[in-house]
Structure 1
Amino acid sequence: MAVSLEHGGQVPADQDYYDLGSHTRPITTKSHDAQVWFNRGLVWAYSFNHRESAACFEQVIAHDPTCAIGYWGVAFALGPNYNKGWRIFDPKDLTTSIRKCHAMARKAKEYAKSASPAEQALIDAIQARFPTDTVPDKFKPSVIAYANAMMEVYRRFGGNDLDIVTLAADALMGVAPWKLYKARTGEPDLSTPVLQLRDILERGLAHPGARYHPGLLHMYIHLVEMSKTPERALIAADYLRDLVPDGGHIHHMPSHIDVLVGDYRRALNTNLKATIVDEKYVAREGVENFYSFYRMHNYHSLIYAAMMSGRAAISLEATTRMEASLTERLLQLDSPPMADWLEFFNSVRVHVLIRFGMWEELKVLPVPEDKDLYCVTVALVYYGKSVAWAATGDVMKADEERERFRAAAARVPPTRLNYPNKVLDILQVATAMLDGEIEYRKGNYQAAFSSLRLAIERDDNLVYAEPWGWMLPARHPYAALLLEQGYVEEAARVYEADLGLDDSLARVIQHPNNIWALHGYHECLVRLGRDQEARIIKKQLEIAAAGADVPVKSSCFCRFEGIKSDCTAECEGVNLVKSREPRRTATMTTVVSSFAENPLTTTFSRPDDCSNIYRSGFLSVLDISETCMPEGFSTDPTFYFSPGLVCPSGYVSACHDHTGVESVTTVTCCPVYNDKVTLSCVKTTSLQSVWSTLFCTWIAPEKTSLPIVLSEDQVTSTVMQPFSSPGGLNAFGVRMVYEQSDLESVTDTGILPTNTDGGETEPVKGGDGGSSGLSQSAKIAIGVVVPVVVLALIGALFLFWRARRRQRDVAPASQSGQYAQAGQTPYGEMQQKAVNIPHAELPGTSLTPASELPADSQQSEPVELPVNSPTTEGAGRYT
């Protein structure tokens, strides 16, 4: 709404405006328009859009200059709040706000004689908040005086007046914003009014109208989110969703609880809706206002939830949308100093690219030209580049970028925020992370793990925020690299802590149900032989994976792209002992989620009638009918035959990858067409970590003609089709796992490997932490970079495979003992599964008097609830 905070012209209440729901509070006025604008102002205040709230209260005054509660509203909206205490105001904003708030409070007192008793009480209380029109030396006395005054209002009117309950809770929270609980334990800090807050809010929630009150529900989420039991607010969060249709922050708030209970899917959807709703506000008000902080917060929360869910596409899309709102003009505003508040959000892309292992994108990510305005972004871009070079094995370039990062970090002023954290504290996490990543690539594992543990400590000690200040939990790369070096038991403990499966971490530091740690923990359990636990975790992992849009193969992509360890002895480290668990092919989950039960040997030969080329949309496809593929073949990108020592007849080994401490080598065998057409693995650089070697292709080097089988109206014909680059031929490859134990298992069963290339097959080097490899004659590694558009046609290839299968109308061969039929779960067709968290309703509690805060700066211990007082179900006494 384009209404000046200096009340002047009237705006009719029936003018097109935002939909703020149905909440209303009758006030003392004869003006219908004043009543409507007051309702709007109060809801905006509850929604933490204080700028718009003040504008609405100004309209109350414009329509009824004698309406005392309208003046109260302006003073309330422009004063401090839970997210913006007095210490956060910049000097200019502070001076202006105190002067205006004092004047409005005094004006409200002037007209209070005709106001209702409750309105008079609110007006009297706010006088204590703004005792003078000048900036005081200390704010705490007036903050405590206002809280005490509001508790008196609550005692008089709070029994059935949920607005009074909400406003009293707001005043109490202002005494110790974001410090109601001990950060390391989640226990209530009894030097704060936390127990009084719990008392009055949970009494309010017992009221029949509580589920429709946006302020009360909002306050309750803030009350419990830092506690040991944030799930107590699940019902309140559900009631709050959609309660204020055009209130972006209200849409967002339930996600604070969603994330804490591990419901990232719901957190994602909630924040997606919040960002869309915010666009309506931007269309009317623009971006150059303080509410832009809340809009960025909603984007930040959306991106974080998507990252924790393994959703790369929406993470990147939301990042792009967020960056579009961070205009240079917005960041140049000096009051409030928006660069201090917002510039950090411009660096979020770095975290997204690291989360999803997009190393090539990081290497070419541009560095902002204005290195002062974008100082945080500059530092983190250098950080991301260094991580990318380290992850891809170029330690020298990683070191060069690390030096640039250090120099840039030194230029970041202490005023820059990722609220409520200082960016300098966040950069300390980055420093330790980067040192660990680079030392790891150098082979200095003791130093690497020491640095990564330091990063974890710094990460844990950040000020509570939702989303967390450091967007990629430091335990994820630490545990992934532990696992790569064979420290399976230690990695399992790290994953247990991250998932909140033990009591080692405060609740706010845990990340329940996140797909990254679930995958790592499941792998640890399997490799440790803890099969019953693994089966339990597997179901949670499958549900999490159903919502991801990338195959998650580790808790950090850094595990797969770096230099492999040549450490064969036990590496030194604090409390690190390499696990000596048995090497079991059927339980290798490092990169493998499904196997054919028995080895694929050269007893399978590609039939002669499978050399036809078919056309499917833009693709030319070598026959991939069911009878042309090995029995048990799956299009699942994580499916492998195992053991797989050599390629079957009619195939050639096109590429292989070494993966994990277990010396696993994945091999892709591509079909042979003729001596002029050699199919190779797809290795698109920017998406290598996602697509790996899903299918085989041949790019025509020059104009070439090949016979293509066409079918139209049940008439089949063969024509010569010209090919020219970047056109070519495509087919599914046969993928296998090859490791030392495979050779042993084949020898034991009497199945002798046959090398189609004529050479001998050499065993993989054994030993923990050792590297593995195929025999020299088998190392035919052909890397082909293809246009990104080819990847977009993978789906068409799969659909064509199914169509050919139906056309052949061949009954599936009976399952023999040689091959086991593997489960078919093609990527892209995974069904979405919701996580339903049951919880109870919130019953009421009996009313007991609330204690008054002392007038001096020292607070007495708040009164606890009586032992025999009924309390909210599922929300027992603080202990």
Structure 2
Amino acid sequence: MARPRSDSRPSTPHRKFGPPGSQADGSRRTHAQIPFLVGLITCLAFAIAACGEAVDPDPAEMDPRAEHVHDAEAELGEVAFPTSCSDEVQPRIERGVALLHHMMYAQAGTVFDEVTAQEADCAMAHWGLAMSNFQPFWGSADIDAGREHAEQAVALEAPTDRERAHAAAALAFFEGDDVSYAQRVRNWEAAMEEFHEAFPDDREGAAFYALAHLSVDPASAEHQDRAAAILEEVYTEEPRHPGAIHYAIHVHDVERHAEDGIQFARAYEDIAPTVPHALHMPSHIYVRLGEWDEVIEWNRASADAALLHPAGEYVSLHYPHALDYLMYGHLQKAEDEQARAVLEELASEDHFEPHLASGYALAAVPARWYVERRDWAGAAQLEPGVPESFPWEDFPGAEAMTHFARGLGAARTGDVETARAATERLAELEAASEAAEDYYWAQQIEVQRLSLAAWIDLAEGDADGAVQTMTAAAETAGEMEKHPITPGDLQPAYELLGDMLMEVDRPEEAFDAYQTSLEVWPERYHTLLGAARAATAAGMEEEAREFYNQLAMLTADADPEEREGIREARERVGSE
């Protein structure tokens, strides 16, 4: 059976809304302020009163993983979630709702736990615990725990229709035993649509409905536009609403619409300056634009903040997630020593939150280290399932990353047997994803499997078959949108196609493939280098100069001894 494919190329313009003056006046936080934020986060962790004026901290507060770091005074934006619970717990409930909008689910759960400990019959605190146990945009949920709290929220029969409707909508996600995750999200979306129709003025319900609608199919133009329209209304009422701005970034984290999202990235920078995911989210837009300095600086701040916000006993998913984006940015600028430091930093931690975002980053960071540096022998030696403490069997899309990198390295070094074994494992992971109705990852793994099969064909001497299969992989990838879990593919399929076409001496076609890749993923190191070399081989001197110049500017701060392409670009630019 053919799997459903998303409409990933919106034919209608996105509806745009944003903070007054955010684009017109060009205002934004400067790079100089980012170290200040990191310093502020450090000061919070060590209970320093005035960033330099020492106090005698409690020993527990010296541990940056301590639970106290969800400081009640930390800024989160503005929400309005009236409940029938006591006035004493109301501020904590609204804090928990704000954390839900920031996708800080573990931390939100801690807050709602505190409320239930203080007021066990607060229905909306149990609703909050249910909401903390599923993450619709990330494909993760604790069904048993969430169902328990959702059922309790319903059973407590809050005195207002609105509260009872919130409880019922949460339960809609968790009901049923033999229900796929995708169907649960659809059930939640339907319930939130009913809620929104019944309570159109409920700002938080509207934001959650927009998230639900977008989560059903993030790549669909229809879903993007509908979510944008709802979020516009929320934002108009409250310009500092964390959900309106956060979810709007996801709406614009799509091909060719990233520039429309820059205003939201800049707005989110100011909403919650110590929240890890808020510090990370602007980079969803910056990575689309190839603005690597911003990607690096914001994800460094996000990773540092994430270590201050553990997910219970685990290292929060926001830490490896930020490190993956950080690694990606450094590698595009050919800052290989900084990238190596990120690799070592990630390897120094263990006991990560069992979540797709954690698993993907754990697989992606070492894979990127080898593939982006074209260390094919190193890539071929990658071991799947590291660290062993992580439940890889639950996340086939994450495990696939390692097999793809390993197989690609093996194929590029002539080890066809290892490459073929990787292809076979990718086929198994693709089938597992499809059986779970996780069609995005099934299709993503299909692209990896086809790409690897193409390079195996080339290694075995079938150049025509290799190009045909690699072209099919690239065309399939071209129908997809990037998942929010990743800054970008390990190696974009059109870049892979360009590399293959250069291998078989078809530089004009290779140049076109690199150009196609750059339309989606600008300022990638190897795509720029590939385009420059293809243009040179095709006798397109003007185009070659343009791409070598771009590469030289991109790597201006890099060590020319790190990569041959840096020296090549500087020599070409310097000789003209």
Distance 1:548 1:399 in 2: 34
Deviation string, structure 1 residues 89-144 (Cα, Å, up to 9, x no partner): 4xxx324422321311442614x4xxxxxxx6354444344379952877546642
Matched residue, 2:246: 218
Matched residue, 1:299: 323
Distance 1:216 1:379 in 2: 33
* TM-score (structure 2 length as normaliser): 0.72
Distance 1:593 1:104 in 2: 64
Q: Which amino acid in 2 is paired with 1:127?
A: A
Matched residue, 1:464: 482
Tell me, yes or no, if structure 1 residue 107 matches structure 2 residue 152.
Answer: no
Distance 2:166 2:382 in 1: 53
Deviation string, structure 1 residues 24-67 (Cα, Å, up to 9, x no partner): 55756897762442343122111112232132123234445565
Equivalent of 1:97 in 128, 146, 151? 146
Tell me, yes or no, if structure 1 residue 23 matches structure 2 residue 77.
Answer: yes
Give the superposition deviation at 1:229.
1.8
Tell me, yes or no, if structure 1 residue 522 matches structure 2 residue 529.
Answer: no
| CA gap 1:324/1:146 in 2 versus in 1, 3 angstroms | same
Name the SS of the counterpart of 1:109 in structure 2. coil
Contact 1:306–1:314 under 8 Å retained in 2: yes
Matched residue, 1:479: 498
- The equivalences for 1:261-276 within 5 A come to 261-276=289-304
- The equivalences for 1:761-840 within 5 A come to none
Deviation string, structure 1 residues 557-598 (Cα, Å, up to 9, x no partner): xxxxxxxxxxxxxxxxxxxxxxxxxxxxxxxx9946427xxx
| Greater share of residues in strand | 1
Matched residue, 1:436: 454
Matched residue, 2:571: 594
Distance 2:262 2:79 in 1: 26
| CA gap 1:312/1:415 in 2 versus in 1, 3 angstroms | farther
Which has the higher mean CA deviation after the structures are superposed, 19-28 or 311-320?
19-28
Distance 2:138 2:380 in 1: 36
Tell me, yes or no, if structure 1 residue 121 matches structure 2 residue 148.
Answer: no
Deviation string, structure 1 residues 333-385 (Cα, Å, up to 9, x no partner): xxxxx487754544321342022022443455556697996677987666655
Deviation string, structure 1 residues 518-544 (Cα, Å, up to 9, x no partner): 233234445555555555545433321
Tell me, yes or no, if structure 1 residue 245 matches structure 2 residue 269.
Answer: no
Matched residue, 2:511: 492
| CA gap 1:429/1:17 in 2 versus in 1, 3 angstroms | closer
Matched residue, 2:363: 347
| CA gap 1:552/1:94 in 2 versus in 1, 3 angstroms | same
Matched residue, 2:314: 287
Name the SS of the counterpart of 1:269 in structure 2. helix
Matched residue, 1:153: 199
Equivalent of 2:232 in 202, 215, 228? 202
Which has the higher mean CA deviation after the structures are superposed, 486-495 or 538-547?
538-547
| CA gap 1:121/1:362 in 2 versus in 1, 3 angstroms | closer
Matched residue, 1:542: 552
Give the superposition deviation at 1:234.
0.6
Deviation string, structure 1 residues 690-747 (Cα, Å, up to 9, x no partner): xxxxxxxxxxxxxxxxxxxxxxxxxxxxxxxxxxxxxxxxxxxxxxxxxxxxxxxxxx
Distance 1:368 1:16 in 2: 31
Distance 1:534 1:69 in 2: 61
| CA gap 1:266/1:405 in 2 versus in 1, 3 angstroms | same
Distance 1:242 1:498 in 2: 33
Contact 1:399–1:438 under 8 Å retained in 2: yes
Name the SS of the counterpart of 2:272 in structure 1. coil
Q: Which amino acid in 2 is paired with 1:230?
A: A
Tell me, yes or no, if structure 1 residue 144 matches structure 2 residue 200.
Answer: no
Matched residue, 2:467: 449
Which has the higher mean CA deviation after the structures are superposed, 346-355 or 459-468?
459-468
Distance 2:464 2:541 in 1: 30
Distance 1:134 1:368 in 2: 32
Contact 2:340–2:369 under 8 Å retained in 1: yes
The answer for unaligned runs of 5 or more in structure 1 is 1-13, 113-119, 158-163, 183-187, 332-337, 501-509, 555-588, 596-637, 640-821, 824-879
Distance 1:199 1:368 in 2: 42
Q: Which amino acid in 2 is paired with 1:517?
A: T
Name the SS of the counterpart of 2:521 in structure 1. coil
Distance 2:134 2:452 in 1: 42
Equivalent of 2:342 in 288, 293, 318? 318
Deviation string, structure 1 residues 412-439 (Cα, Å, up to 9, x no partner): 5855799977666544434433343344
Contact 1:516–1:552 under 8 Å retained in 2: no
- The equivalences for 1:319-718 within 5 A come to 319-327=343-351, 338=354, 342-348=358-364, 349-362=366-379, 364-365=381-382, 384=405, 387-388=408-409, 390-392=411-413, 395=414, 398-406=415-423, 408-409=425-426, 412=429, 414-415=431-432, 425-461=443-479, 464-466=482-484, 467=486, 470-500=489-519, 510-526=520-536, 528=538, 530-534=540-544, 536-549=546-559, 591=568, 593-594=570-571
RMSD over aligned CA atoms reads 4.2
Name the SS of the counterpart of 2:309 in structure 1. helix
Q: Which amino acid in 1 is paired with 2:153?
A: M
| CA gap 1:340/1:452 in 2 versus in 1, 3 angstroms | same
Larger radius of gyration: 1
| Greater share of residues in helix | 2
Q: Which amino acid in 2 is paired with 1:436?
A: A
The answer for unaligned runs of 5 or more in structure 2 is 1-66
Q: Which amino acid in 2 is paired with 1:153?
A: F
Contact 2:115–2:125 under 8 Å retained in 1: yes
Distance 1:350 1:478 in 2: 19
Q: Which amino acid in 1 is paired with 2:196?
A: M
| CA gap 1:530/1:407 in 2 versus in 1, 3 angstroms | closer
Distance 1:436 1:132 in 2: 41
Deviation string, structure 1 residues 740-792 (Cα, Å, up to 9, x no partner): xxxxxxxxxxxxxxxxxxxxxxxxxxxxxxxxxxxxxxxxxxxxxxxxxxxxx
Distance 2:432 2:350 in 1: 18
| CA gap 1:122/1:295 in 2 versus in 1, 3 angstroms | farther
Deviation string, structure 1 residues 275-297 (Cα, Å, up to 9, x no partner): 11111123x83317xx53x4433
Distance 1:65 1:300 in 2: 40
Contact 2:210–2:230 under 8 Å retained in 1: no
**Count of residue correspondences:** 495
Distance 2:227 2:340 in 1: 39
Give the superposition deviation at 1:472.
1.0
Contact 1:302–1:318 under 8 Å retained in 2: yes
* TM-score (structure 1 length as normaliser): 0.49
Distance 1:482 1:80 in 2: 41
Matched residue, 1:689: none
Distance 1:592 1:225 in 2: 31
Tell me, yes or no, if structure 1 residue 47 matches structure 2 residue 94.
Answer: no
Distance 1:530 1:546 in 2: 24
Distance 1:30 1:438 in 2: 63
Distance 2:431 2:242 in 1: 35
Equivalent of 2:171 in 130, 134, 140? 130
Distance 1:144 1:102 in 2: 18
Matched residue, 1:171: 209
Contact 2:76–2:98 under 8 Å retained in 1: no
| CA gap 1:32/1:535 in 2 versus in 1, 3 angstroms | farther
Deviation string, structure 1 residues 655-684 (Cα, Å, up to 9, x no partner): xxxxxxxxxxxxxxxxxxxxxxxxxxxxxx
Distance 1:371 1:57 in 2: 28
Deviation string, structure 1 residues 134-166 (Cα, Å, up to 9, x no partner): 528775466423323224423x35xxxxxx1x5
